[in-house]
Amino acid sequence: MYTKAYIGLGSNVGDKKANLAQARFLIEGLKGVRISKQSSLYETAPWGKTDQDDFINQVIEIETELRPLELLHQLQAIEIKLGRRREVHWGPRNIDLDVLLYGRETIDLEELKVPHPYLIQRLFVLIPLAEIDSELVFPDGSKIGEVLLRLTKSADTGDLRKL
């Protein structure tokens, strides 16, 4: 049985667009995974650690037979294959792949938390997520439009630019 999941992609080192394209290609090549939708690319200011180059971010919707931890491990293997090194928390990276949502599940494991812990604080994830599924309902029952409205009232949206 296939489950719909959403993956956040980001890059701020090297050829950012090519890094995202290569990650999508490798994700599509995973057994039991099919990319069903993808958002536009967005250029965004760094979040968390701000003294680094801007990111290009995107969200993809996949249909997968992989269980959540198996999906996470496959995405981490893709990050490693593409040269990702985890040296500085929230630091520069050529590729970052995050499981944002996995069906309507709430997962609270040491290794994986779904929904992603910072999902509702990050416009660079919420805006592309709303672009590909404007009717999305989070596991807690909140709707993407409501979450976006709350965040845009309290956040500066000027650091996000659709490419």
Catalytic residue check, 156: no
Of 15, 34, 54, 84, which is the active-site residue? 84
Choose the catalytic residue: 15, 86, 93, 150.
93
CA 20 to the chain's CA centroid = 11
From 15, 34, 67, 98, the catalytic residue: 98
What is the spatial distance between Cα 26 and Cα 94, in angstroms, rounded to a whole number? 15
34 is catalytic: no
Q: Catalytic site residue 51?
A: no
- Angle, alpha carbons 74-121-89 (nearest 5°): 55
- Let me know if 133 is a catalytic residue: no
Pick the closest to residue 159 from 122, 133, 134, 132 (CA basis): 122
Pairing of strands 42-44, 160-162: antiparallel
Q: Which of 96, 122, 133, 161 is catalytic?
A: 96
* Residues with catalytic function: 84, 93, 96, 98
